[in-house]
Protein backbone atom coordinates (compact mmCIF):
# COMPACT_ATOMS: atom_id res chain seq x y z
CA UNK A 1 0.00 0.00 0.00
CA UNK A 2 1.49 3.40 -0.85
CA UNK A 3 1.29 6.37 1.54
CA UNK A 4 -1.75 7.91 -0.13
CA UNK A 5 -3.69 4.67 -0.02
CA UNK A 6 -2.64 4.16 3.60
CA UNK A 7 -3.90 7.63 4.60
CA UNK A 8 -7.14 7.07 2.71
CA UNK A 9 -7.79 3.75 4.36
CA UNK A 10 -6.92 5.17 7.84
CA UNK A 11 -9.39 8.04 7.30
CA UNK A 12 -12.03 5.61 6.10
CA UNK A 13 -11.41 3.36 9.09
CA UNK A 14 -11.78 6.20 11.62
CA UNK A 15 -14.91 7.54 9.91
CA UNK A 16 -16.22 3.99 9.88
CA UNK A 17 -15.44 3.57 13.58
CA UNK A 18 -17.34 6.78 14.41
CA UNK A 19 -20.36 5.61 12.47
CA UNK A 20 -20.15 2.16 14.03
CA UNK A 21 -20.33 3.86 17.44
CA UNK A 22 -23.58 5.40 16.28
CA UNK A 23 -24.76 1.95 15.30
CA UNK A 24 -24.51 2.68 11.59
CA UNK A 25 -22.28 0.65 9.30
CA UNK A 26 -20.36 2.68 6.76
CA UNK A 27 -21.69 0.90 3.69
CA UNK A 28 -25.13 1.94 4.86
CA UNK A 29 -24.17 5.46 5.93
CA UNK A 30 -23.93 6.78 2.38
CA UNK A 31 -27.57 6.12 1.87
CA UNK A 32 -29.27 6.79 5.19
CA UNK A 33 -32.70 7.81 4.01
CA UNK A 34 -33.91 9.51 7.10
CA UNK A 35 -32.62 10.92 10.36
CA UNK A 36 -35.22 8.75 12.08
CA UNK A 37 -34.37 5.39 13.52
CA UNK A 38 -37.65 3.43 13.46
CA UNK A 39 -39.24 3.25 16.91
CA UNK A 40 -39.95 -0.20 18.33
CA UNK A 41 -42.92 -1.78 16.66
CA UNK A 42 -46.34 -0.66 17.61
CA UNK A 43 -48.96 -3.17 16.57
CA UNK A 44 -49.04 -3.36 12.82
CA UNK A 45 -52.03 -2.21 10.78
CA UNK A 46 -51.24 -4.75 8.04
CA UNK A 47 -54.22 -6.98 7.41
CA UNK A 48 -56.31 -5.35 10.15
CA UNK A 49 -59.98 -5.60 9.16
CA UNK A 50 -62.39 -2.69 9.31
CA UNK A 51 -65.25 -2.91 11.79
CA UNK A 52 -68.42 -3.65 9.82
CA UNK A 53 -70.39 -0.60 8.68
CA UNK A 54 -73.98 -0.90 7.42
CA UNK A 55 -73.72 2.50 5.80
CA UNK A 56 -70.34 4.06 5.04
CA UNK A 57 -70.36 7.75 5.98
CA UNK A 58 -67.82 9.70 3.98
CA UNK A 59 -66.58 13.29 4.38
CA UNK A 60 -64.74 14.91 1.47
CA UNK A 61 -62.04 17.53 1.99
CA UNK A 62 -61.21 19.31 -1.26
CA UNK A 63 -64.09 19.45 -3.72
CA UNK A 64 -62.04 20.52 -6.73
CA UNK A 65 -61.77 18.46 -9.91
CA UNK A 66 -60.73 15.20 -8.29
CA UNK A 67 -62.86 15.52 -5.16
CA UNK A 68 -66.01 16.03 -7.27
CA UNK A 69 -65.07 13.25 -9.64
CA UNK A 70 -64.73 10.80 -6.71
CA UNK A 71 -67.96 12.18 -5.22
CA UNK A 72 -69.62 11.22 -8.48
CA UNK A 73 -68.30 7.65 -8.12
CA UNK A 74 -69.46 7.30 -4.52
CA UNK A 75 -72.89 8.65 -5.39
CA UNK A 76 -73.20 5.57 -7.60
CA UNK A 77 -72.29 3.09 -4.83
CA UNK A 78 -75.04 1.68 -2.61
CA UNK A 79 -74.97 2.20 1.16
CA UNK A 80 -72.82 5.34 1.05
CA UNK A 81 -73.79 8.59 2.71
CA UNK A 82 -71.80 11.75 2.08
CA UNK A 83 -72.09 13.53 5.42
CA UNK A 84 -69.70 16.49 5.12
CA UNK A 85 -67.94 18.59 2.49
CA UNK A 86 -65.04 20.99 2.93
CA UNK A 87 -63.15 23.35 0.64
CA UNK A 88 -61.56 26.77 1.06
CA UNK A 89 -63.61 27.93 -1.95
CA UNK A 90 -67.35 27.93 -1.05
CA UNK A 91 -68.42 27.73 -4.72
CA UNK A 92 -66.64 24.37 -5.09
CA UNK A 93 -68.55 22.95 -2.13
CA UNK A 94 -71.73 24.34 -3.63
CA UNK A 95 -71.00 22.55 -6.92
CA UNK A 96 -70.56 19.32 -4.98
CA UNK A 97 -73.84 19.89 -3.11
CA UNK A 98 -75.65 20.43 -6.37
CA UNK A 99 -74.23 17.18 -7.71
CA UNK A 100 -75.57 15.36 -4.65
CA UNK A 101 -79.02 16.88 -5.14
CA UNK A 102 -79.09 15.99 -8.82
CA UNK A 103 -78.14 12.41 -7.92
CA UNK A 104 -81.07 12.27 -5.50
CA UNK A 105 -78.86 11.89 -2.43
CA UNK A 106 -81.34 12.19 0.41
CA UNK A 107 -78.93 13.64 2.94
CA UNK A 108 -77.89 17.27 3.31
CA UNK A 109 -74.12 17.36 4.05
CA UNK A 110 -72.52 19.56 6.70
CA UNK A 111 -70.38 22.21 5.02
CA UNK A 112 -66.99 23.59 6.08
CA UNK A 113 -65.53 26.52 4.17
CA UNK A 114 -64.12 28.83 6.83
CA UNK A 115 -60.45 28.41 5.95
CA UNK A 116 -57.45 26.18 5.42
CA UNK A 117 -57.91 24.35 8.73
CA UNK A 118 -61.69 23.99 8.61
CA UNK A 119 -61.17 20.25 8.00
CA UNK A 120 -60.16 19.89 11.67
CA UNK A 121 -63.72 20.70 12.73
CA UNK A 122 -65.08 18.35 10.08
CA UNK A 123 -62.91 15.56 11.49
CA UNK A 124 -64.41 16.02 14.95
CA UNK A 125 -67.94 15.21 13.78
CA UNK A 126 -69.47 11.98 14.98
CA UNK A 127 -71.28 11.12 11.72
CA UNK A 128 -68.14 10.37 9.71
CA UNK A 129 -66.42 6.98 9.21
CA UNK A 130 -63.94 7.93 6.49
CA UNK A 131 -62.35 11.28 5.64
CA UNK A 132 -61.20 11.43 2.01
CA UNK A 133 -58.90 14.25 0.97
CA UNK A 134 -58.47 15.48 -2.61
CA UNK A 135 -56.62 18.66 -1.71
CA UNK A 136 -53.30 19.94 -3.10
CA UNK A 137 -50.39 17.71 -2.04
CA UNK A 138 -49.29 19.79 0.95
CA UNK A 139 -52.60 19.16 2.71
CA UNK A 140 -52.78 15.36 2.37
CA UNK A 141 -50.82 14.61 5.54
CA UNK A 142 -52.43 17.27 7.78
CA UNK A 143 -55.91 16.08 6.80
CA UNK A 144 -55.06 12.39 7.29
CA UNK A 145 -53.48 13.05 10.69
CA UNK A 146 -56.49 15.12 11.84
CA UNK A 147 -58.86 12.39 10.66
CA UNK A 148 -57.04 9.51 12.35
CA UNK A 149 -56.47 11.48 15.55
CA UNK A 150 -60.23 12.11 15.66
CA UNK A 151 -60.90 8.37 15.32
CA UNK A 152 -61.78 8.32 11.59
CA UNK A 153 -60.21 6.27 8.84
CA UNK A 154 -58.30 8.42 6.36
CA UNK A 155 -58.17 8.14 2.58
CA UNK A 156 -55.91 10.39 0.58
CA UNK A 157 -55.25 11.25 -3.00
CA UNK A 158 -51.84 10.55 -4.44
CA UNK A 159 -49.06 10.91 -3.46
CA UNK A 160 -49.87 10.43 0.23
CA UNK A 161 -46.75 12.40 1.27
CA UNK A 162 -43.60 13.87 -0.25
CA UNK A 163 -41.17 13.79 2.68
CA UNK A 164 -39.95 10.70 4.52
CA UNK A 165 -40.82 12.29 7.85
CA UNK A 166 -44.41 12.69 6.68
CA UNK A 167 -44.48 9.07 5.48
CA UNK A 168 -43.45 8.01 8.98
CA UNK A 169 -46.00 10.36 10.56
CA UNK A 170 -48.76 8.57 8.66
CA UNK A 171 -47.44 5.15 9.71
CA UNK A 172 -47.00 6.13 13.38
CA UNK A 173 -50.44 7.73 13.57
CA UNK A 174 -52.23 4.87 11.85
CA UNK A 175 -50.63 2.38 14.24
CA UNK A 176 -51.25 4.51 17.35
CA UNK A 177 -54.87 5.36 16.55
CA UNK A 178 -55.68 1.93 15.02
CA UNK A 179 -57.23 3.72 12.05
CA UNK A 180 -56.43 2.96 8.45
CA UNK A 181 -54.73 5.45 6.17
CA UNK A 182 -55.39 4.44 2.59
CA UNK A 183 -53.85 6.06 -0.45
CA UNK A 184 -56.52 5.97 -3.14
CA UNK A 185 -54.31 4.61 -5.93
CA UNK A 186 -56.97 4.14 -8.58
CA UNK A 187 -54.52 2.67 -11.11
CA UNK A 188 -54.31 -0.50 -9.02
CA UNK A 189 -57.92 -1.08 -10.09
CA UNK A 190 -57.38 -0.53 -13.83
CA UNK A 191 -58.69 -3.27 -16.12
CA UNK A 192 -55.29 -4.29 -17.47
CA UNK A 193 -53.62 -3.98 -14.07
CA UNK A 194 -56.07 -6.35 -12.42
CA UNK A 195 -56.03 -8.73 -15.40
CA UNK A 196 -52.23 -8.91 -15.21
CA UNK A 197 -52.35 -9.29 -11.42
CA UNK A 198 -54.55 -12.37 -11.87
CA UNK A 199 -52.15 -13.76 -14.47
CA UNK A 200 -49.15 -13.13 -12.20
CA UNK A 201 -50.92 -14.98 -9.42
CA UNK A 202 -51.84 -17.85 -11.72
CA UNK A 203 -48.09 -18.23 -12.31
CA UNK A 204 -48.21 -17.47 -16.05
CA UNK A 205 -45.12 -15.25 -15.91
CA UNK A 206 -43.12 -17.67 -13.74
CA UNK A 207 -40.95 -16.09 -11.11
CA UNK A 208 -41.27 -12.30 -11.29
CA UNK A 209 -37.95 -10.57 -11.93
CA UNK A 210 -38.64 -7.04 -13.12
CA UNK A 211 -41.25 -4.37 -13.69
CA UNK A 212 -41.71 -0.96 -15.26
CA UNK A 213 -43.78 1.97 -13.98
CA UNK A 214 -44.28 5.58 -14.98
CA UNK A 215 -46.29 8.72 -14.89
CA UNK A 216 -45.57 10.08 -18.33
CA UNK A 217 -48.32 12.57 -19.08
CA UNK A 218 -47.94 15.90 -20.85
CA UNK A 219 -49.40 18.30 -18.26
CA UNK A 220 -47.84 21.51 -19.58
CA UNK A 221 -51.14 23.16 -20.47
CA UNK A 222 -52.74 22.17 -17.14
CA UNK A 223 -49.72 23.33 -15.14
CA UNK A 224 -49.98 26.82 -16.65
CA UNK A 225 -53.73 27.28 -16.19
CA UNK A 226 -54.94 30.00 -13.84
CA UNK A 227 -57.31 27.60 -12.10
CA UNK A 228 -57.47 24.10 -10.59
CA UNK A 229 -54.06 22.35 -10.52
CA UNK A 230 -52.41 25.32 -12.24
CA UNK A 231 -52.87 27.20 -8.95
CA UNK A 232 -50.61 24.89 -6.92
CA UNK A 233 -48.97 22.07 -8.85
CA UNK A 234 -46.46 24.10 -10.89
CA UNK A 235 -45.03 25.37 -7.60
CA UNK A 236 -43.60 21.89 -6.89
CA UNK A 237 -41.62 22.21 -10.12
CA UNK A 238 -39.82 25.21 -8.60
CA UNK A 239 -38.79 23.28 -5.50
CA UNK A 240 -37.80 19.66 -6.14
CA UNK A 241 -35.77 17.91 -8.79
CA UNK A 242 -37.31 14.49 -8.35
CA UNK A 243 -40.04 12.11 -9.36
CA UNK A 244 -42.96 14.21 -8.13
CA UNK A 245 -45.70 11.65 -8.83
CA UNK A 246 -44.48 8.08 -8.41
CA UNK A 247 -47.53 6.12 -7.31
CA UNK A 248 -49.75 5.64 -10.40
CA UNK A 249 -47.26 3.37 -12.12
CA UNK A 250 -45.61 1.93 -9.03
CA UNK A 251 -48.71 0.82 -7.11
CA UNK A 252 -49.76 -1.87 -9.60
CA UNK A 253 -46.17 -3.16 -9.96
CA UNK A 254 -45.95 -3.34 -6.15
CA UNK A 255 -49.04 -5.57 -6.22
CA UNK A 256 -47.50 -7.81 -8.91
CA UNK A 257 -44.46 -8.26 -6.65
CA UNK A 258 -46.30 -8.56 -3.30
CA UNK A 259 -44.32 -5.60 -1.98
CA UNK A 260 -44.81 -5.30 1.82
CA UNK A 261 -46.30 -8.81 1.68
CA UNK A 262 -43.20 -10.93 1.05
CA UNK A 263 -40.88 -8.47 -0.68
CA UNK A 264 -40.02 -4.82 -0.17
CA UNK A 265 -38.42 -1.88 -1.93
CA UNK A 266 -34.80 -1.96 -0.79
CA UNK A 267 -32.93 0.85 -2.55
CA UNK A 268 -33.20 3.31 -5.41
CA UNK A 269 -30.93 5.18 -7.79
CA UNK A 270 -32.23 8.15 -9.73
CA UNK A 271 -31.22 10.67 -12.39
CA UNK A 272 -33.00 13.62 -13.95
CA UNK A 273 -32.46 15.37 -17.26
CA UNK A 274 -32.15 19.14 -17.34
CA UNK A 275 -35.36 21.17 -17.23
CA UNK A 276 -36.57 22.81 -20.42
CA UNK A 277 -40.23 21.90 -20.92
CA UNK A 278 -41.90 24.46 -18.67
CA UNK A 279 -39.38 27.17 -19.53
CA UNK A 280 -40.01 26.74 -23.26
CA UNK A 281 -43.77 26.58 -22.77
CA UNK A 282 -43.70 29.85 -20.80
CA UNK A 283 -41.47 31.48 -23.40
CA UNK A 284 -43.90 30.59 -26.17
CA UNK A 285 -47.20 31.32 -24.40
CA UNK A 286 -47.03 33.47 -21.28
CA UNK A 287 -47.51 37.24 -21.55
CA UNK A 288 -44.32 39.04 -20.55
CA UNK A 289 -45.99 40.73 -17.57
CA UNK A 290 -47.18 37.42 -16.07
CA UNK A 291 -46.02 36.77 -12.47
CA UNK A 292 -45.05 33.29 -13.69
CA UNK A 293 -41.89 34.85 -15.17
CA UNK A 294 -40.52 35.13 -11.61
CA UNK A 295 -40.52 31.35 -11.29
CA UNK A 296 -37.48 29.12 -11.86
CA UNK A 297 -38.23 25.53 -12.69
CA UNK A 298 -35.90 22.92 -11.21
CA UNK A 299 -37.62 19.59 -11.87
CA UNK A 300 -35.82 17.82 -14.71
CA UNK A 301 -38.18 17.01 -17.57
CA UNK A 302 -37.55 13.27 -17.40
CA UNK A 303 -36.68 11.55 -14.16
CA UNK A 304 -35.63 7.91 -14.31
CA UNK A 305 -35.13 5.77 -11.23
CA UNK A 306 -34.30 2.13 -10.67
CA UNK A 307 -35.59 0.38 -7.58
CA UNK A 308 -34.14 -2.92 -6.36
CA UNK A 309 -36.26 -5.03 -4.08
CA UNK A 310 -35.08 -7.23 -1.22
CA UNK A 311 -35.72 -10.27 -3.43
CA UNK A 312 -33.52 -8.85 -6.17
CA UNK A 313 -36.22 -7.63 -8.53
CA UNK A 314 -35.60 -4.45 -10.50
CA UNK A 315 -38.19 -1.77 -11.31
CA UNK A 316 -37.77 1.06 -13.80
CA UNK A 317 -39.72 4.13 -12.60
CA UNK A 318 -40.20 7.22 -14.79
CA UNK A 319 -41.76 10.66 -14.38
CA UNK A 320 -42.26 13.13 -17.21
CA UNK A 321 -45.07 15.68 -17.21
CA UNK A 322 -43.37 18.46 -19.16
CA UNK A 323 -42.54 16.92 -22.56
CA UNK A 324 -44.69 16.45 -25.64
CA UNK A 325 -45.42 12.73 -25.58
CA UNK A 326 -48.29 10.21 -25.48
CA UNK A 327 -49.57 9.08 -22.11
CA UNK A 328 -47.94 6.03 -20.50
CA UNK A 329 -47.67 4.36 -17.10
CA UNK A 330 -45.44 1.65 -18.73
CA UNK A 331 -47.10 -0.97 -16.50
CA UNK A 332 -44.79 -3.86 -17.31
CA UNK A 333 -43.94 -7.07 -15.54
CA UNK A 334 -41.36 -9.66 -16.53
CA UNK A 335 -40.80 -13.15 -15.20
CA UNK A 336 -38.97 -16.36 -16.04
CA UNK A 337 -41.80 -17.47 -18.34
CA UNK A 338 -43.06 -14.30 -19.99
CA UNK A 339 -43.47 -10.56 -20.14
CA UNK A 340 -46.32 -8.03 -20.32
CA UNK A 341 -45.97 -4.39 -21.36
CA UNK A 342 -48.70 -1.79 -21.62
CA UNK A 343 -49.28 1.29 -23.83
CA UNK A 344 -50.33 -0.50 -25.94
CA UNK A 345 -50.94 -3.78 -24.07
CA UNK A 346 -48.94 -6.72 -25.41
CA UNK A 347 -47.68 -10.00 -24.08
CA UNK A 348 -45.13 -12.71 -24.78
CA UNK A 349 -44.69 -16.19 -23.32
CA UNK A 350 -41.90 -18.69 -23.55
CA UNK A 351 -42.56 -21.58 -25.89
CA UNK A 352 -40.81 -24.54 -27.48
CA UNK A 353 -40.58 -22.54 -30.72
CA UNK A 354 -40.05 -18.89 -29.79
CA UNK A 355 -41.27 -16.46 -32.47
CA UNK A 356 -39.97 -13.34 -30.68
CA UNK A 357 -43.18 -11.42 -31.39
CA UNK A 358 -45.66 -9.68 -29.09
CA UNK A 359 -49.24 -10.95 -28.93
CA UNK A 360 -52.48 -9.18 -28.03
CA UNK A 361 -53.94 -9.79 -24.57
CA UNK A 362 -57.55 -10.34 -25.61
CA UNK A 363 -57.42 -14.13 -25.55
CA UNK A 364 -56.54 -14.06 -21.83
CA UNK A 365 -59.55 -11.99 -20.79
CA UNK A 366 -62.11 -14.79 -20.69
CA UNK A 367 -60.10 -16.76 -18.16
CA UNK A 368 -58.25 -14.09 -16.21
CA UNK A 369 -60.48 -11.01 -16.08
CA UNK A 370 -60.57 -9.89 -12.45
CA UNK A 371 -63.81 -10.74 -10.59
CA UNK A 372 -64.29 -7.06 -9.69
CA UNK A 373 -64.33 -6.15 -13.38
CA UNK A 374 -66.46 -9.14 -14.25
CA UNK A 375 -69.16 -8.01 -11.84
CA UNK A 376 -68.80 -4.21 -12.04
CA UNK A 377 -67.36 -3.63 -15.50
CA UNK A 378 -70.48 -2.48 -17.28
CA UNK A 379 -71.38 0.14 -14.68
CA UNK A 380 -67.76 1.10 -14.03
CA UNK A 381 -66.95 1.95 -17.64
CA UNK A 382 -69.28 4.96 -17.61
CA UNK A 383 -67.21 6.49 -14.75
CA UNK A 384 -63.84 8.21 -14.48
CA UNK A 385 -60.51 6.98 -15.92
CA UNK A 386 -62.05 4.13 -17.88
CA UNK A 387 -63.82 2.68 -14.84
CA UNK A 388 -60.99 2.18 -12.38
CA UNK A 389 -62.31 4.99 -10.15
CA UNK A 390 -65.68 3.32 -9.70
CA UNK A 391 -64.11 -0.09 -9.03
CA UNK A 392 -61.86 1.49 -6.38
CA UNK A 393 -64.74 3.40 -4.74
CA UNK A 394 -66.99 0.32 -4.74
CA UNK A 395 -64.26 -1.94 -3.38
CA UNK A 396 -63.39 0.33 -0.44
CA UNK A 397 -67.04 0.49 0.52
CA UNK A 398 -67.26 -3.30 0.25
CA UNK A 399 -64.26 -3.70 2.57
CA UNK A 400 -65.78 -1.31 5.12
CA UNK A 401 -69.24 -2.90 4.96
CA UNK A 402 -68.08 -6.49 5.14
CA UNK A 403 -65.35 -5.94 7.72
CA UNK A 404 -62.44 -6.82 5.43
CA UNK A 405 -58.92 -5.41 5.54
CA UNK A 406 -58.37 -2.64 2.99
CA UNK A 407 -56.52 -3.60 -0.20
CA UNK A 408 -53.93 -0.90 0.41
CA UNK A 409 -52.72 0.13 3.86
CA UNK A 410 -50.56 2.83 5.36
CA UNK A 411 -47.37 0.87 4.59
CA UNK A 412 -48.26 0.90 0.90
CA UNK A 413 -49.08 4.62 1.05
CA UNK A 414 -45.64 5.30 2.58
CA UNK A 415 -43.59 2.93 0.40
CA UNK A 416 -45.20 3.95 -2.90
CA UNK A 417 -44.85 7.67 -2.06
CA UNK A 418 -41.24 7.38 -0.79
CA UNK A 419 -39.62 7.45 -4.28
CA UNK A 420 -40.52 11.16 -4.30
CA UNK A 421 -38.09 12.21 -1.55
CA UNK A 422 -35.67 9.34 -2.25
CA UNK A 423 -35.27 10.27 -5.91
CA UNK A 424 -34.67 13.89 -4.89
CA UNK A 425 -31.80 12.76 -2.66
CA UNK A 426 -30.32 10.46 -5.26
CA UNK A 427 -30.54 13.06 -8.05
CA UNK A 428 -28.80 15.60 -5.82
CA UNK A 429 -25.99 13.08 -5.19
CA UNK A 430 -25.08 12.09 -8.73
CA UNK A 431 -27.44 9.13 -8.72
CA UNK A 432 -26.05 7.46 -5.59
CA UNK A 433 -28.21 4.74 -4.13
CA UNK A 434 -30.53 5.57 -1.24
CA UNK A 435 -32.21 3.03 1.01
CA UNK A 436 -35.96 2.82 1.47
CA UNK A 437 -37.01 2.98 5.10
CA UNK A 438 -38.74 -0.23 6.13
CA UNK A 439 -42.10 1.27 7.05
CA UNK A 440 -43.39 -2.19 8.03
CA UNK A 441 -40.72 -2.41 10.75
CA UNK A 442 -39.61 -5.84 9.56
CA UNK A 443 -42.99 -7.35 8.83
CA UNK A 444 -42.66 -7.08 5.05
CA UNK A 445 -41.37 -10.64 4.84
CA UNK A 446 -44.65 -12.15 6.05
CA UNK A 447 -46.25 -13.43 2.84
CA UNK A 448 -49.78 -12.12 2.34
CA UNK A 449 -51.98 -11.30 -0.62
CA UNK A 450 -53.35 -7.81 -1.19
CA UNK A 451 -57.00 -7.80 -2.28
CA UNK A 452 -57.47 -11.15 -0.56
Closest to 277 in 3D by CA, of 217, 331, 350, 200: 217
Name the residue nearer to ligand NAD (CB basis): 141 or 347: 141
Q: Cβ of residue 117: shortest distance to ligand NAD, in angstroms?
A: 7
d(CA 258, CA 200): 10
- The residues of the shown chain that bind ligand NAD, judged by CB under 6 A, are 61-67, 86-89, 92, 116, 119, 134-137, 139, 157-158, 186, 228-229, 231, 385
Q: How many CA atoms lie within 13 Å of 353's alpha carbon, on the beta-carbon side?
A: 0
Closest to 113 in 3D by CA, of 151, 156, 61: 61
C-alpha separations of 236 from 167, 230, 281, 299, 402 in Å: 18, 11, 17, 8, 39
CB atoms inside a 10 Å sphere around CB 11 = 10
Q: Cβ of residue 227: shortest distance to ligand NAD, in angstroms?
A: 8
Q: Cβ of residue 32: shortest distance to ligand NAD, in angstroms?
A: 28
d(CA 268, CA 422): 7
Q: Which residue is nearest to ligand NAD (CB)?
A: 64
Closest to 396 in 3D by CA, of 408, 385, 387: 408
**Angle, nearest 10°, between helix axes 388-402 and 65-75?**
60
Name the residue nearer to ligand NAD (CB basis): 84 or 307: 84
Q: Residue 386: exposed, middle, or buried by beta-carbon count in 10 A (0-12, 13-18, 19+)?
A: middle
Q: Cβ of residue 179: shortest distance to ligand NAD, in angstroms?
A: 20
Q: Cβ of residue 115: shortest distance to ligand NAD, in angstroms?
A: 8
Name the residue nearer to ligand NAD (CB basis): 245 or 281: 245
- Report helix, strand or coil for 181: strand
Name the residue nearer to ligand NAD (CB basis): 134 or 171: 134
d(CA 316, CA 268): 10
The answer to whether the CB of 403 falls within 8 A of the CB of 49 is yes
Per DSSP, 431 falls in state: T
Name the residue nearer to ligand NAD (CB basis): 63 or 328: 63
Q: Cβ of residue 192: shortest distance to ligand NAD, in angstroms?
A: 15
Closest to 168 in 3D by CA, of 55, 357, 278, 33: 33
Q: Cβ of residue 366: shortest distance to ligand NAD, in angstroms?
A: 29
The answer to whether the CB of 249 falls within 8 A of the CB of 317 is yes
C-alpha separations of 177 from 44, 78, 149, 154, 207 in Å: 11, 28, 6, 11, 38
Rounded to a whole number of angstroms, the distance between the first and last alpha carbons of the chain is 59
Name the residue nearer to ligand NAD (CB basis): 59 or 61: 61
Name the residue nearer to ligand NAD (CB basis): 42 or 89: 89
Name the residue nearer to ligand NAD (CB basis): 41 or 231: 231
d(CA 78, CA 139): 29
Name the residue nearer to ligand NAD (CB basis): 64 or 335: 64
Q: Cβ of residue 245: shortest distance to ligand NAD, in angstroms?
A: 7
Cross-strand pairs, 346: 341
d(CA 75, CA 81): 8
Q: Cβ of residue 21: shortest distance to ligand NAD, in angstroms?
A: 42
Name the residue nearer to ligand NAD (CB basis): 211 or 246: 246
Q: Cβ of residue 66: shortest distance to ligand NAD, in angstroms?
A: 3
Q: Cβ of residue 152: shortest distance to ligand NAD, in angstroms?
A: 16
d(CA 190, CA 384): 11
Amino acid sequence: MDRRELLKSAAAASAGAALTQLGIDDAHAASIPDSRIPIPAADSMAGVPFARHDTVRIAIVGTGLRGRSMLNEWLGVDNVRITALCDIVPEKVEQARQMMRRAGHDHEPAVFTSGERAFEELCRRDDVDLVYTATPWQWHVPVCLAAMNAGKHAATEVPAAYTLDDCWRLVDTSERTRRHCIMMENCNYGYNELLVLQMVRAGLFGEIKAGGAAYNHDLRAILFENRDEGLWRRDHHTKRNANLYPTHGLGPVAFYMDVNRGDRFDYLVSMSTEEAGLTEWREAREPKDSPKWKERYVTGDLNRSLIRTAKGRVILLEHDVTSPRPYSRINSVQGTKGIFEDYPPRIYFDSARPDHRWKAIDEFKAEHEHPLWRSLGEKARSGGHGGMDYVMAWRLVQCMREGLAPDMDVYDAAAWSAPGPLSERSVANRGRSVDFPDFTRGRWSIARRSMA
